[in-house]
Structure 1
Amino acid sequence: MEFLIKISQFLLSLSLLIVLHELGHFIPAKLFKTRVEKFYLFFDVKFSLFKKKIGETVYGIGWLPLGGYVKIAGMIDESMDKEQMALPPQPWEFRSKPAWQRLIIMLGGVTVNFILAAVIYMVMAFAYGDTDVDAHSLKGGYWIENKLLQDIGFKTGDDIIAVNGTKINTYSELRQSIIEGDNYTIVRDGKEQKIEMPEDFLGQLSSMPKDEHGFFELRIPFMVAAVSDSSLNKGVDLKEGDILKAINNKPVPYFDLYKDTLLPLKNQTVDVTVQRGDDTFVRALQVDENGKLGIYPGTNLKRFADLGYFTIINKEYTFGESIGVGATKFKDQVASYWGQLGKIFNPSTGAYKGVGGFKAIFDIFPATWSWPDFWQLTAFLSIMLGVLNLLPIPALDGGHVMFLLYEIISGRKPSDKFLENAQMVGFFLLIALVLFANGNDIFKALFK
């Protein structure tokens, strides 16, 4: 069931983005009276799952879910229709239109992607507001179990107050900083100090096993989610939501402290202080040979906030305010993604090792259906699609834009032969990038 939920979200989001992106090319093409021969969701290699001709355009759904396309008459694109290009230009063809019209047609897709993302952020701000953890309210700093972060110099209990010299106000800001953070300002034992991140941090992080990728986690109490069926404590009166407060009268306020506390108590019975609502009582629990209680931990941020571990910030916005909030979030996300690309294309950072393909995108969707999560992820993917399509690579929109700008500035149009060769180079480059990204996914699945 989890797989069905994830794949449904993945395909719905991907389909929505592809259709709207291609619609961004289709609409200005039609406005400028340019013939659009095909409008396809997914690729129709050899055959289509569905197709129907309406007017001069064939609308269809292909079987290969790697994207989509519109085939515009008289345009040198991935179809490499040399027969059509060998004929004299026709008034309805792309190549016959003024350069400024062709530029608008080519920019239509990414324009729609960016507008979609901005609108989603605005609507999300109005409908849901913002909920976050106040970074200044943490009582015990952060839980840091990631071995790489520990080797760099971080420790559990550190209070992280700034990234790259910019003050951290919310937990989400800290979480998002892991990609672009070059240095962190922390407070440890009341003293402020700075930790510099190694240049190849992202490369080292990508080389770690997937289950060791935890970053800066909130320090929370041990709240009971369920008792394992194989646990020695299966019959003990423990309920979901109980908070384990102390062991043998020794306070253990954070979940991250239980491992070291229980290891010396292997195969022993311990008295555990339990809080249930407003009541506190003691239960005798058995520690197994691995130093564990056999209890699954749970998470409830509101409950932890009520217990005083941190403060949750809830903000609601008027319709007018949501426009500004959404626009700011859109701007920040675009800037952040450009920064990520900069690191990916810089070999010294090793960030290219973390590049993923379709499986990586599939994995970011949650296993339970959540419309807020779905729309947040769709907005991010829309930005990603827009930014990637702007790269000046022939076969991408950005490649076409690059040649059109050259034509507008110089007054000279590149020859069709040159554009065909450039398209082929760009196509093979894109294939190499797709193979690399999806190869990374396969490597991680098999060896990490």
Structure 2
Amino acid sequence: MTRRETMPNAHVAGQGHLGPEDEALVSRRTKALGPAYRLFYETPVHLVRGEGVWLYDKDGTAYLDTYNNVACVGHCHPRVVEAMSRQAATFASHTRYLHDGILTYAERLLATFPAALSHVMFTCTGSEANDLALRIAREHTGATGIIVTENAYHGVTASIAELSPSLGAGVPLGAHVRTVPAPDPARFGDDPGAGFAAAVQSAIDDLLRHGIRPAALLVDTIFSSDGIFADPPGFLAPAVEVIRKAGGLFIADEVQPGFARTGAAMWGFERHGLIPDMVSLGKPMGNGYPVAGLVLKPEVVAEFGARARYFNTFGGNAVAAATAGAVLDVIEDEGLMENARATGAYLADGLRDLAGHHDCLGTVRGAGLFIGADIERDGGPDAALARRIVNDLRAKHVLISATAKAGNVLKIRPPLVFSRANADVFLGRLGAVLAAV
């Protein structure tokens, strides 16, 4: 076995209630961080280190990470850590000095995009990248209306939280925002593309009735918060045509599906045979180091650039550029796009086999190493059962989450170094959980 396929020999601690030390941590967390933060799982996990697809708690218990795309090339990948530490020990500053590191990375990154997308602007987070995209879209179109899906998540800045209905009722949508249903074949039938485009047109019509011109359609190209919808390839194209006909732009949020995750291409939008006007990048870009960006067509940013300067103290700093460059090296040198395709297909097949034996496991869908699986009971979504499965897997030292407006879709999104051997561990433990429920 390779290093990333090896099952670690770890002490297995008992599960259930938190011990005194972790209870104290929860208490300190509440006092120091306030009430808005949330922890994963009914029994939170106290993690202290990571390696590859494994995370370890303070007792040395190993947890299989089947959820975390932030560390896209695996937790603490030695090549990424080395590049980060080497640059941090050499020079770290922003983009207002000449430095070839950021230019070398920018040129490498842009080479992975269609030629029409030939500028990149750097930020620290995906939230900032989407916020910048919103500013540019408004400047370019002179309009303000934005269309998103009904359970979208695009970030946490004030402007972007207004476009993120998944944050909950406590974060109201802006008056300039309209939501549309996700392109779910269960809702739109055999042609989700036509149904989704019709919904976008209806949203445009409603904006116009209220005197608001549409500036952009913004979607996560795998619709992860809505329940994960990847197929059929090409279904996004009609909706993009509709928004452009109305004078708006198409912004592809690639924070989650980007960087080879879908297995078919470097970017999720490529599966749909179209070229966005802007593409936002985030989480996986630095394997955990805070680096993000916005890739865009030159003509889209021309007016914005003529009228306003853009500066971000840490966005695109020298350490960020070195770290992000190492992530590209690993994706290319370790063949992680192909691994996402092959291992993802193997994992999806295994899930469908489990679905044949357990009625509560419904439709399995996705692309590469981004998979959603419906949890159902009596013909409908069952969020409570999905939560139970997620927590029971945590008790078996497997970390996943659930997504979708109904909260009933298992969200399976491991680091790109996930192997068939790791998939077998996951499928075995999921099978045991499903048998128990």
TM-score range for the pair, normalised by the shorter chain length: under 0.3
Which is higher, the Rg of structure 1 or of structure 2?
1
Structure with bigger helix share is: 1
Taking structure 2 as the reference length, the TM-score comes to 0.23
TM-score, reference length from structure 1: 0.23
Higher RCO (CA-CA < 8 Å; seq separation 6+): 2
